[in-house]
Amino acid sequence: MAHDYRRSDLDRVAPHPQVWRHIRRGLQPVQKDTRFYIDGAWTDRPDAKLIDVIDPASEQVFGQIAAGTSADVDLAVAAARRAFDGFGYSPVEERLALLKRIRDLLEERAEEFAQSVVKEMGAAISFARAGQVYFGIEHVRVAIKVLEDFAFRSEVNGITVRKEPIGVVAMITPWNWPLYQITAKVAPAIAAGCTVVLKPSEMSPFTAQLFAQVMHDAGTPAGVFNLVHGTGEEVGEAMSAHKDVEMVSFTGSTRAGVLVAKAAAPTVKRVVQELGGKSPNIFLPDANFEEAVGKGVLGAMRNCGQSCAAPTRMLVPADRLADVELLAAEAAEGVVVANPLDEKAVLGPLANGPQFAKVQDLIQAGIDGGAKLVCGGTGRPNGLNAGYFVKPTVFSEVTPDMRIAQEEIFGPVLCIMPYKDEEDAIRIANDTVYGLSSHVQSADQEAARRVAGRIRAGQVHINYPAWSGFAPFGGYKQSGNGREYGVYGLEDYLETKAILGY
Phi and psi dihedrals of 342, rounded to 5? -70, 125
The reply to whether domains 2-275+484-495 and 280-469 share a CATH topology is no
User: Please, are residues 95 and 101 in contact by the beta-carbon 8 Å criterion?
Assistant: no
For strands 313-317 and 372-375, give the pairing: unpaired
Residues 6+ apart with CB under 8 A from 42: 35, 36, 216
- Architecture of the CATH domain 2-275+484-495: 3-Layer(aba) Sandwich (3.40)
Q: How far apart are CA 29 and CA 210, in angstroms?
A: 20
Give the residue ranges of DSSP H helices in 272-414: 289-301, 321-333, 353-368, 403-406
Please give the helix or strand (H or E) that residue 488 lies within, else none: helix 486-491
User: Please, are residues 228 and 73 in contact by the beta-carbon 8 Å criterion?
Assistant: yes
Strand arrangement, sheet containing 60-66: 2-4, 30-33, 60-66, 50-55
Q: How far apart are CA 443 and CA 496, in angstroms?
A: 43
- How far, CA to CA in Å, does 370 sit from each of 128, 272, 413? 36, 38, 16
Q: How far apart are CA 331 and CA 317, in angstroms?
A: 19
Q: What is the CA radius of gyration of the chain?
A: 23
User: Active site includes 274?
Assistant: yes
Fold annotation for 280-469? Aldehyde Dehydrogenase; Chain A, domain 2 (3.40.309)
Look up residue 34 and give its amino acid: T
Q: Nearest CA to 452 among 440, 436, 466, 435?
A: 440
For strands 280-283 and 313-317, give the pairing: parallel
- The catalytic residue among 120, 274, 325, 408 is 274
Q: How far apart are CA 158 and CA 501, in angstroms?
A: 8
Q: At what angle do helices 92-108 and 206-217 cross, to 10 degrees?
A: 130
pTM of this prediction exceeds 0.85: yes
User: Active site includes 415?
Assistant: no
Q: Give the start-to-end residue ranges of the domains of the chain.
A: 2-275+484-495, 280-469
Q: How far apart are CA 370 and CA 367, in angstroms?
A: 6
Q: Nearest CA to 109 among 188, 17, 210?
A: 210
Phi and psi dihedrals of 337, rounded to 5? -105, 120
Number of Cβ within a 10 Å radius of residue 472? 17
DSSP 65-134: EE---HHHHHHHHHHHHHHHHHHTT--HHHHHHHHHHHHHHHHHTHHHHHHHHHHHH---HHHIIIIIIH
Query: Taking CA 434 as the corner, what is the angle to CA 430 and CA 439, rounded to the nearest 5 degrees?
Result: 60
One digit per residue, pLDDT tens: the chain, 502 residues? 443 333 223 222 334 444 444 434 444 579 999 999 999 999 999 999 999 999 999 999 999 999 999 999 999 999 999 999 999 999 999 999 999 999 999 999 999 999 999 999 999 999 999 999 999 999 999 999 999 999 999 999 999 999 999 999 999 999 999 999 999 999 999 999 999 999 999 999 999 999 999 999 999 999 999 999 999 999 999 999 999 999 999 999 999 999 999 999 999 999 999 999 999 999 999 999 999 999 999 999 999 999 999 999 999 999 999 999 999 999 999 999 999 999 999 999 999 999 999 999 999 999 999 999 999 999 999 999 999 999 999 999 999 999 999 999 999 999 999 999 999 999 999 999 999 999 999 999 999 999 999 999 999 999 999 999 999 999 999 999 999 999 999 999 999 999 999 9
- The catalytic residue among 194, 308, 375, 415 is 308
Q: How far apart are CA 300 and CA 2, in angstroms?
A: 38
Q: How far apart are CA 46 and CA 122, in angstroms?
A: 27
